[in-house]
Amino acid sequence: MEQEMLVKTIAKVLDDKKALDIRALRVSHLTVITDYMLIASGRNVLQTRALAEDVEDKMAELGVPLRTREGMQEARWIVLDYGTVLVHIFHPEAREYYNLERLWTDGDNEMDLGLDEEAGKPGDQA
């Protein structure tokens, strides 16, 4: 599966399961670790873990191998490594603390995922 399609497929799984503030960053020019980082939040530990499990299930169904997974037990920051795509699923407090977007955004490397921009964004209450 092509990298951008993989990112969008994972983002769609997260969006369908009501993940918050889903963002994708192209980071191949910033690090050799991966080409893309997909960052999302769950509302609590249970949802964070469920989001990761849903992504794993869908990727396994599509034949995309998971290299490694970290953080499932505590479910505060779960990382799923698909080689060219690292998926970070955070508990809201951990996401705010680590603020990966600040570390890895260079101003023009955010990818448009084509998701409903208003849905699931924290703090967008009228």
Give a yes or no: residue 91 inside a domain: yes
- In angstroms, the CA 76 to CA 90 distance is 6
Give a yes or no: residue 40 inside a domain: yes
Tokens, residue 33 = 């670790």
Give a yes or no: residue 125 inside a domain: no
Q: Where are the beta strands (DSSP E) in 71-115?
A: 77-81, 85-90, 110-111
What integer is the mean pLDDT of 22-48? 93
The CATH number given to whatever domain includes residue 50 is 3.30.460.10
- In angstroms, the CA 113 to CA 126 distance is 24
Query: Bridge-partner residues for 79, per DSSP?
Result: 70, 88
What integer is the mean pLDDT of 49-54? 97
Give a yes or no: residue 115 inside a domain: no
Give a yes or no: residue 124 inside a domain: no
Give a yes or no: residue 119 inside a domain: no
Domain of 20 in residue numbering reads as: 3-109
Chain segment 82-122, per-residue pLDDT in tens: 999 999 999 999 999 999 888 888 778 888 888 865 444 44
Q: Where are the beta strands (DSSP E) in the chain?
A: 20-26, 36-41, 68-70, 77-81, 85-90, 110-111
Query: What does the mean pLDDT of the chain come to?
Result: 89
- In angstroms, the CA 109 to CA 78 distance is 22
Chain segment 79-93, per-residue pLDDT in tens: 999 999 999 999 999
What integer is the mean pLDDT of 26-47? 93
Give a yes or no: residue 39 inside a domain: yes
Give a yes or no: residue 114 inside a domain: no
Number of structural domains, the chain?
Answer: 1
Widest CA span in the chain: 42
